[in-house]
Structures are given as structure tokens and as C-alpha cells.
Amino acid sequence: MKAVAITPKEKNSAKLVEMDKPKVSDIKDGRGVLVEVLRVGACGTDREINNAEYGVAPAGEDFLVLGHENFGRVVEVGENVWELEPGDFVVATVRRPCGTSIYDLIGQQDFTTDNEYYEHGISRLHGFWAEFYAESADFLIKVPPKIAEVAVLLEPISIIEKGLRQAKDIQKRLDIWKPKNAAVLGTGNVGLLTVLALRLRGFEVHGFGLQLPDGYLNAELCNAIGATYDSTRELSVTDSVKKYGEYDLIFEATGYSPIVFEAMQTLNENGILILSSVTGGDRKTDGVPSDLINQEFVLGNRVMVGTVNANREHFEMGVKDIALAEAMYPGWLSRMMTHKVEGLENFEKVFDILENGGDYGAIKTYFEVAKI
């Protein structure tokens, strides 16, 4: 079968490779499921791995098959798989337990304390930019056929579900928390899905991006579901408080770390700031009013929390939110899926779009590997 792989630590090494088709029996205990890949998403993570910023090959191999955002159809199941059958649509979770951290042992590998982690298409496990994969049913999420068209968005949504679940759990400390006003910093793929998830939960939502709103699809998508959109060139997050009030919840997804300090100063009392950007650079921020921020966090019982990855529960929450979104805002998720590239062999086109996304007006770029 065909797959797209990179050589770790080698820039722009992506190439089409020929591999053996996996088998159900590759997975132990009769829990194997052979999945035909239908669609796979592409994002900054794939670009950064191809750019040799990170990425680790599986033990004993010198290449890594890319891809973590996935959607496929079950072809065959092992004798101990009762929850899936051929023809079912599935999405695979990304991180696998590695067995030494206690969190891995209880299915919370997204909270692992191990430094070596196992993630499909990212670290030590081949990814889903391939025609088939075999996986244990334990790590597959069943997807209803009615949301098949947009289910390749489930993996990115799972990241947001985890963040919002953390916020909910942390805010249980308050006994009563009735948040109303939310800000989402960054309106790319993750930011827009966060705007959606918060609108589904009844928040008043204010999205912020760099680009000016005129003719900007991302801004239009915010407005289409009752959220505002502002360019930070016209209204800073700090100044936005005068217009919208302080925020009970802020979700940061810009990749630009200085904005975090602005966000910290716009939180309401008892508010929570959720950080999701992986900022791999070495930027330092001068002029941070640290006394003021510290005092406000103390006197206002404010919270800041980082969130990464997602476990099975968050994917299951995502399935429900996608279904709800399709019912409440039909067609909205499809509008986000701006760039479809047919065939894994056209991976160079995908990297071109990832690299120059702004010029293409791309929000979500994905491969169609096989027809739904």
C-alpha cells in the first residue's frame, strides 16, 4: 500500500513509500481492526515534522509515516472485537499508553508524565497518511454515517473538548459557575472549532484573529453562528474588554505567546484561561506588568491551565458535538473544510497549502484517500 513518510531530522524529506498492507493479526488478543483510510487531515504539526522540527521514527525504522487527523472505514475485525463490524466508520485516537506512567495505565495517556510519548504520525508510531492501518478496537471511535462527511475534523475537535472539559472540572471548585462571556484567541482551524464548541454550550463568543474581517471566511464563519470577530490590528484583546466586558473563559490558540499576557489581564473574577498553543520558539516578552497580573490572579481567584492531546472520552464528546453542530448549524463544518487534495501522491500540494495557507484562504486541508 501507499503511504507518505518523512525521515526524522531531515528537512522536506516527505516522500511516497510502498509498505506491506497491515493485517488484523498484527494486533494481539484478537482485538485487531483493519481500517481503510478515507480522509486524513493536515495541519501545522505535519508541516513542522516535515520541517524536521520534531518527529521520531518507530523503533528499528528510519522513517515515520505522517498523519494524525484521520477518518476511515472498517474492513475486517478480529475475533474478540464486538463493538465494530465491517462497514463501520471510525476515527482512531492519536496517543497510545506506553506503560510506565500511572496515567497511561488508566487510559489517561494524554496526562502522561513520561518524557517519551507514543503518538501516531508524530512520535514512535506510524501515522494515518496511508491507505490502510490496523489498530486495536480499544483506540477506535465509532462515527455515525450521518456525520461521515465532516468526521475528519474529529481529532482537532477532541483537543478542544479536552480543554473545555478541564475548565469545567477545575471550575467545580466554585460550586456555582455560570460563565457567559468567552474569548477565543486565534480563528484558524482550532480557534474556529472552539468558537463552535462554545456557541453549542450557549456562550457569548468573541473571536480574535490577525486578518481584517472584510472578505475573510474565518470571520464570516464566526458571525454565521452568532459570534463576533475582531482583528487584533483594529481592536486589541486588552481594549476589547471595554466593548465586550471581561471574559469568564478564554481559549488561546494563536501560537503567539505574548498574547497570553494580554489575555491574563482580561479575565473576569473566577475566570479561566486555557492555553493550547505549542510555541516552540524562544521568544521573550518585555514589559509584562507582572505585579498587576499576579495581584489580579490572587485577588480574583483566576486560573490558567495548559491542555494537550485528548483521550477516548474527549473524542466521544467530539462525536456528540459534531452531531449537534450539524443539527444546529447545518453545513457550517463543511465550509471549514476548504481544501481537499485527492490521493496521497499529491502530498506536495498539501505541504504547499500548509506553507502558504493565507494565500490560499485555507482553513482545513485534507486528503481524500478513498471515496466515502
The binding site for Zn ion (CB under 5 A) comprises 43, 45, 69
Q: Which is nearer to Zn ion, 69 or 230 (CB)?
A: 69
Work out the burial of residue 261: count CB atoms within 10 Å of its CB; fewer than 13 is exposed, 13-18 middle, 19 or more buried: middle
Cell of 325: 453542530
The amino acid present at 15, given as its one-letter code, is K
Helices vs strands, H then E, count in the chain = 12, 19
DSSP, collapsed to helix, strand or coil, labels residue 139 as: helix
Dig out the grid coordinates for 292 from the structure. 498587576
Least CB distance to Zn ion at residue 176 (A): 36
**Phi and psi for 274 in degrees, rounded to 5?**
-110, 125
Q: CB nearest Zn ion: which residue?
A: 43
* Residues sharing a CB contact under 8 Å with residue 312, sequence separation 6 or more, in sequence order: 93, 107, 139, 141
Beta carbon nearer to Zn ion, 158 or 240: 158
The count of C-alpha atoms lying within 13 angstroms of the C-alpha of 114, restricted to the half-sphere facing its C-beta, is 20
Q: Looking at beta carbons only, is 27 or 150 nearer to Zn ion? A: 150
Residue 340 CB, shortest distance to Zn ion, in Å, is 16
Distance, in Å, from the CA atom of 164 to the CA atom of 350, rounded to the nearest integer, reads: 30
Q: Which is nearer to Zn ion, 45 or 240 (CB)?
A: 45
C-alpha dihedral over 216, 217, 223, 229, to 10 degrees? -40
Contact criterion met (CB below 8 Å) for 189 and 364: yes
State in angstroms the smallest separation of the CB of 194 from Zn ion: 14
For the CB of residue 29, give the shortest distance to Zn ion in the complex, in Å. 29
Rounded Cα distance between 321 and 317, Å, is 6
Query: In the complex with Zn ion, which residue's Cβ is closer, 143 or 303?
Result: 143
Nearer to Zn ion, 40 or 325 (CB): 40
Smallest separation, CB 191 to Zn ion (Å): 13
CB of residue 272 to Zn ion, shortest distance in Å: 24
